[in-house]
Amino acid sequence: IMEIIVAKSAGFCFGVDRAVKSVYDNISNKPLYTYGPIIHNLQVVNELEDKGVKVVNNIEELRKLEKGKVIIRSHGVEEKIYEIIKDSGFSIVDATCPYVKKIHHIVNDYSKKGDTIIIIGDSTHPEVIGIKGWSTRETIIIENVEDAKKLDIPKDTHLCVVAQTTLNYLKYQEIIEIILDKGYHVDIKNTICRATRDRQEEAINLSKKVDKMLVIGGKHSSNTRKLYQLCKNQCDNTYHIETIEDLELLVFSKNEIIGITAGASTPKNIIQEVITHVRNTERN
Ligand code: F3S
| pLDDT tens digit sequence for 58-104 | 999 999 999 999 999 999 999 999 999 999 999 999 999 999 999 99
Is 242 considered catalytic here?
no
pLDDT in tens, 240-261: 999 999 998 898 988 999 999 9
Share of the chain above pLDDT 90, in %: 88
> Do residues 65 and 121 share a domain?
no
Q: How many domains, the chain?
A: 3
> Do residues 65 and 135 share a domain?
no
CATH number of domain containing 139: 3.40.1010.20
pLDDT in tens, 180-227: 999 999 999 999 999 999 999 999 999 999 999 999 998 888 899 999
Please say whether the beta carbons of 158 and 184 come within 8 A: yes
Write down which residue in 41, 63, 96 finishes a domain: 96
Please choose, from the candidates 219, 217, 260, 254, the residue with its C-alpha nearest in 3D space to the C-alpha of residue 237.
260
Which of residues 70 and 155 earns the better pLDDT score? 70
Ligand 1 atom 6: the closest Cα is on which residue? 15
Residue 282 has pLDDT above 80, yes or no: no
Ligand 1 atom 3: the closest Cα is on which residue? 193
* Domain range for 206: 3-10+195-283
Residue 284 has pLDDT above 70, yes or no: no
CATH number of domain containing 46: 3.40.50.11270
Among 61, 127, 138, 245, which one carries the catalytic annotation? 127
**Local confidence band at 116 (pLDDT 50, 70, 90 cut-offs):** very high
pLDDT in tens, 16-46: 999 999 999 999 999 999 999 999 888 899 9
**Span from the CA of 40 to the centroid of ligand 1 (angstroms):** 14
Coil, helix or strand at residue 156: coil
> Do residues 155 and 234 share a domain?
no
C-beta of 223 in contact with ligand 1 (< 6 A)? no
Please choose, from the candidates 67, 109, 74, 107, the residue with its C-alpha nearest in 3D space to the C-alpha of residue 88.
67
Return the pLDDT at 88.
96
**Angle, vertex CA 190, rays to CA 184 and CA 193, nearest 5:** 155
Share of the chain above pLDDT 70, in %: 100
Coil, helix or strand at residue 227: helix
Please state the ipTM of this predicted complex: 0.99
